[in-house]
Amino acid sequence: MVTQSGFRRPPEMTLNWPRPFGEERRLALTFYYGAGSPYAWRVWFALEHKAIPYDRKVLSFADGDLKKPEFVAVNPRGKVPAIVDGDMHLYESAAIVEYLEDAHPDSGNRLFPGAVRDRALVRRLVCEADNYFVPPMNRLLQRVLFAKREEWDPARIAAARDEVGAELERWTGPQDGDYLAGPLSAADFTLYPMVAIALRCEKRKPDLALRERIPARILAWMARVEALPFYAKTWPANWK
């Protein structure tokens, strides 16, 4: 994993709200990001893959940046990620990724294949990650990362861990190509951050033994994602 490879994590940027239109010439899309959010990481992957110029604004969860009026004006739900592209304000990571593909069709590499059936496959995988992997992932995070150690329940933690492993068993992995749907796509950028944050639980609870329950084919796929040229740049700065 990148934490053992010597990759340098990008320095944390300070919050810098965009100036009103006309005070500066905006050359890039504005990307509102929170370190460690798998949904924000999904969008960052997509921006890099598409080679779309962007201005990344790092919001602090601890400092309450997501509830400040300046950001609530961008996303009334007060969550990351969100983007501003000209007069377009958009939130929800899956919608943002679709927008980036459609609004910038000639930039960088495709997030969704051109063929109807191939595109449907990528969308199905995105839906599966959001609808079926996220619930057990969230249960594991709540029981390990977001709970006090004295409140840990070994049986409930083990159950959540096993749910995550069981769901990943359903992911057959690459069949025709190196990535989930064949070519690198939005499906990879959706699932990878989710698995990565689940594995972060082992940092807090080293005896969790989640990694050994992840199928070898999924671990091999993760290694291919980690070899992407922009991977190190997107590594969450607060993950040590």
Residues of the chain with pLDDT > 70, as a percent, come to 88
Residue 105: CB atoms within 10 A of its CB come to 10
Residues of the chain with pLDDT > 90, as a percent, come to 85
Q: Decide if 223 is inside a domain.
A: yes
58-94 pLDDT, tens digit each: 999 999 999 999 999 999 999 999 999 999 999 999 9
CATH label of the domain that carries residue 25: 3.40.30.10
Give the number of domains in the chain: 2
CATH label of the domain that carries residue 132: 1.20.1050.10
Q: Do residues 120 and 99 both lie within one domain?
A: no
Q: Which amino acid is at 64?
A: G
Q: Do residues 6 and 87 both lie within one domain?
A: yes
What does pTM read for this prediction?
A: 0.88
Distances (CA, A) of 174 to 49, 120, 178: 19, 16, 6
Distances (CA, A) of 237 to 12, 43, 240: 6, 16, 8
Q: Are 218 and 179 in contact (CB under 8 A)?
A: no
Q: Decide if 239 is inside a domain.
A: no
Q: Which amino acid is at 116?
A: V
Q: Do residues 195 and 157 both lie within one domain?
A: yes
Q: Do residues 209 and 162 both lie within one domain?
A: yes
Tokens 């958009």 found at: 90
Q: Which residues contact 129 (CB under 8 A, 6 or more apart)?
A: 187, 190, 191, 194
Residue 72: CB atoms within 10 A of its CB come to 12
177-190 pLDDT, tens digit each: 899 999 999 999 99
Domain that holds residue 22: 2-103
Q: Decide if 156 is inside a domain.
A: yes
